[in-house]
Structure 1
Amino acid sequence: MTERKCIVSGDRADPDMLVRLALGPDGEVLPDIRAKAPGRGAWIGVTRADLETALAKGKLRGALARAFKTGELQIPDTLPDLIETGLRKALLDRLGLEAKASMVLTGSEKIEVACRKGIVNLLLHAADAAADGNRKLDQALRVGRQAEGTDLAGIVLPVDRSALSMAMGRDNVVHIAVTDSRAASRLRAALGRLESYLGCATGAPVHGERDSANALGA
């Protein structure tokens, strides 16, 4: 797909990093996270805080009216919540799919071994993971990548262990390692959209993917 223009900021970006809004038959505007809904769509690429400001000041309504070419709109007050919930679900669904395809490792001991072997493309930590556990695996990641002395580390997810465990159908999932490069890319894309919306984006594929080690001289 070609780039899409954010109706709030006017910036253009890859649609994979934006959120599509769709107009329902009853005139209600709802998030279309997978961009599959029929009909005209409007794209947003701002943070939740910026969206809430645009909603409160009426800027979002005006932008949507122009995008959908109608003023008969119903914008739920909960739209920012609905988008965040949808993006979180998309990330958790992707984690579940990768787990079913045996593309991920869980369990600190297994992950540490894989990290030290240098075969981990993406290292993830639950939001409520213990700092000591994170540091231990981050250090193993740097050793395996020959990146000691750098700030290379896993990504702390905006999702806790309870949600991770439920999504992946496993008990007490605190850390996740991905050894397959394509699976890592898919997960990083889903995570990137959520991070961008929450205003805590870590940027391009870094911190946990193998290419970042090269950028750091590993």
Structure 2
Amino acid sequence: MRNPRNEPLGSDITGTAHGGSNAPANAPERRCVLTGESSARGDLLRLAVSPDGLVLPDAHAKAPGRGAWIGVDKAALAAALASGKLKGALARAFKTGALTIPADLPDRAEAALRRALLDRLGLELRSGKLILGSDRIANEARMGKVAALYHAADASADGARKLDQAWRVGLGEEGTGRVGQRLPLDRDTLSVALGRDNVVHLALVDHAAAQRVAIPLGRFATFIGAYSGTGDSAAGDAGNLPGIAATMN
């Protein structure tokens, strides 16, 4: 993808984040072209332009050229698209009206963000950083080796509660209320994406991997209007990410 020539977009600014939920405190900021508010880069969705002027979601924020950023949810994006506000904002950002915005951009954005999250989970699974299965997760959790704990959206409350307890024991945080994150994905979606049967609970055994997953998870959850975490609000050095342990024992 590319952007029109000679165009320094105001939405692609760099600065210091002020407590973005999905990035460290020193992460660069970007400004939402719809609201004008600045947030950590990891909190926003990047839009880029194809060579023929088609506006497309760049869920990985890696497409060539500079892009425009949005920090609104799917409903707000759809409303901005319908009202013409998005077209006007992008025309001002790119200094050109020669842009084509697909009518299904909100759906494309949701699909791209979901795929980015699932792709990241798949990469962590293949690298051995993501583990599955209640028994294995419970054992690793009790030994303090779990950096982040996740539950499918349709996981049973009892199953999640038992793993949450094992995690707190391993972290030495009994009584704190720390719990794993409920993913905005059900077990069928996770199972198909990861190529395993009945994926209900997941855990990361590496702190850096937990940070890598937090970015696409936060973007996807924000866009679809789902809170990305249900854990303890004090995640310490983990970048203030709920459900991610600050330390590894």
TM-score in same-fold range (> 0.5): yes
Counterpart of 1:206 (choices 230, 234, 241) is 241
Gaps of 5+ in 2: 1-13, 15-27, 230-238
CA contact (8 A) 1:40 1:68 kept: no
1:77-96 alignment to 2 at 5 Å? 77-96=103-122
Q: Distance in 2 between matches of 1:160 and 1:137?
A: 18
Shift in Å, 1:67: 1.1
Deviations 1:119-140 (A, max 9, x none): 2110011112112111111121
Q: Distance in 2 between matches of 1:141 and 1:131?
A: 15
Counterpart of 2:151 (choices 125, 131, 134) is 125
Residue 115 (structure 2) pairs with residue 103 (structure 1): no
State the TM-score, normalizing by the size of structure 2: 0.79
Q: Residue 190 of structure 1 corresponds to which residue in structure 2? A: 216
Q: Residue 180 of structure 1 corresponds to which residue in structure 2? A: 206
State the TM-score, normalizing by the size of structure 1: 0.90
| Counterpart residue identity of residue 91, structure 2 | A
Percent of residue pairs identical:
54
Q: Distance in 1 between matches of 2:244 and 2:47?
A: 31
Deviations 1:3-22 (A, max 9, x none): 22110011112222211111
Greater shift, 20-29 or 149-158, is seen at 20-29
Q: Residue 14 of structure 1 corresponds to which residue in structure 2? A: 40
Q: Distance in 2 between matches of 1:114 and 1:70?
A: 54
Q: Residue 115 of structure 1 corresponds to which residue in structure 2? A: 141
CA contact (8 A) 1:23 1:30 kept: yes
Gaps of 5+ in 1: none
Q: Residue 167 of structure 2 corresponds to which residue in structure 1? A: 141
CA contact (8 A) 1:20 1:35 kept: yes
Shift in Å, 1:59: 0.9
CA contact (8 A) 2:182 2:228 kept: no
